[in-house]
Amino acid sequence: MPSSENEVFMFESAEIGHRIDKKVWKEKEPQLRAELLEMQFRLLREARFAVVILVNGVDLAGRGETVNVLNEWMDPRHIRTEAFGPLSDPERHHPEMFRFWQVLPPKGHIGILFGNWYTDPIVAHALGEEKHDHFVHRLERIRQFERMLAAEGVLLLKFWFHLSKKAAKARMKELQASPQTAWRVTPQEERHLKSYDEFVSVSDEALRKTSLGEAPWLVIEGSDPYYRCLTAGQLLLDAVTRRLDQPQERHKPAQLAPMTRPLDDRNLLSAQDYARSVERKHYESRLETLQGRLNGLSRDPRMQRQSLVVVFEGMDAAGKGSTIRRITQALDARFYRVIPVAAPNENERAQPYLWRFWRYIPKHGRSTLFDRSWYGRVLVERVENYCTEADWMRAYGEINEFEEELSEAGVLIVKFWLAITPDEQLRRFKLRSETPHKNFKITEDDWRNREQWPLYEQAVGDMIDRTSTQVAPWHVVASDDKHWSRLEVLEVLCDRIERALEARG
Give residue-wise pLDDT tens across range 117-167. 999 999 999 989 999 999 999 999 999 999 999 999 999 999 999 998 888
Question: What residues form DSSP beta bridges with 156?
Answer: 52
> Is residue 259's pLDDT more than 90?
no
Highest mean pLDDT among 99-103, 177-181, 439-443: 99-103
Global pTM? 0.90
User: Which residues pair with residue 337 across a beta bridge?
Assistant: 368
pLDDT for 261 beyond 80 = no
Output the pLDDT for position 3. Answer: 39
From the number of C-beta atoms within 10 Å of its C-beta (0-12, 13-18, 19+), residue 219 rates as buried
* Adjacency order of strands within the sheet including 217-221: 79-83, 110-114, 51-57, 155-162, 217-221
What per-residue confidence (pLDDT) applies to 191? 77
pLDDT the model gives residue 171:
81
pLDDT digits (tens, 9 = 90+) for 366-407: 999 999 999 999 999 999 999 999 999 999 999 999 999 999
408, 96 contact by CB (below 8 A): no
Q: Which residues fall within 8 angstroms of residue 21, CB to CB, at 6 or more apart? A: 226
Residue type, 172: M
Tell me the pLDDT band of 255, cut-offs 50, 70 and 90: low
Do residues 181 and 93 make contact, with C-beta atoms less than 8 angstroms apart? Answer: no
What is the structure's pLDDT at 9? 62
Q: Is the pLDDT of residue 252 over 90?
A: no
Q: Is the pLDDT at 77 greater than 60, yes or no?
A: yes
pLDDT at 153: 96
Inform me whether the pLDDT recorded for 172 exceeds 60.
yes
Residues 16-34, mean pLDDT to the nearest whole number: 94
Residues 246 and 46: beta-carbon distance below 8 Å: no
pLDDT of residue 343: 93
**What angle (nearest 5°) sits at the alpha carbon of residue 470, between those of residues 465 and 475?**
60
Range from 11-20, 102-111, 201-210, 281-290 carrying the lowest mean pLDDT: 11-20
Query: Residue 253: pLDDT above 70?
Result: no
Pick the more confident residue, 6 or 61. Answer: 61
The least confident of 116-125, 224-233, 256-265 is 256-265
Query: What's the rounded mean pLDDT across residues 401-430?
Result: 96
pLDDT tens for residues 113-130?
Answer: 999 999 999 999 998 999
Predicted pLDDT at 238: 97
In the chain, the largest separation of any two C-alpha atoms, in whole Å, equals 89
Say which residues have a Cβ less than 8 Å from residue 12's Cβ, sequence separation at least 6: none
Q: For position 93, what pLDDT does the model report?
A: 93
Amino acid identity for residue 314 in this structure? G
Strand ranges inside 40-107, DSSP E: 51-57, 79-83
The answer to whether residue 4 scores a pLDDT higher than 50 is no
Q: What is the mean pLDDT of residues 202-222?
A: 94
Band the pLDDT of 262: cuts 50, 70, 90: low
Position 1 scores a pLDDT of: 38
Give 44-56 pLDDT, tens digit per residue: 999 999 999 999 9
Position 504 scores a pLDDT of 82
How far from chain centre, in Å, is Cα 176? 41
- pLDDT (tens digit, 9 = 90+) per residue, 325-371? 999 999 999 999 999 999 999 999 999 999 999 999 999 999 999 99
Rounded Cα–Cα distance for residues 457 and 383 (Å) = 10
Which among 113, 178, 186, 122 has a CA at the least distance from the CA of 149? 113
Percent of the chain that is helix, strand, coil (3-state, to 5)? 55, 10, 30
Percent of the chain with pLDDT over 70: 95
In angstroms, the Cα distances linking 147 to 141, 205, 397 are 10, 19, 11
| Mean pLDDT comparison of 127-131, 169-173, 193-197, 367-371, highest-scoring range | 367-371
C-alpha–C-alpha distance, residues 174 and 181, integer Å? 9
Averaged pLDDT, 46-72:
95
Average pLDDT, the chain: 92
Instruction: Quick: pLDDT tens for 428-480.
Output: 999 988 888 778 878 888 888 899 999 999 999 999 999 999 999 999 999 99
Regarding predicted confidence, which is higher, 39 or 176?
A: 39
- pLDDT computed for residue 250 by the predictor: 55
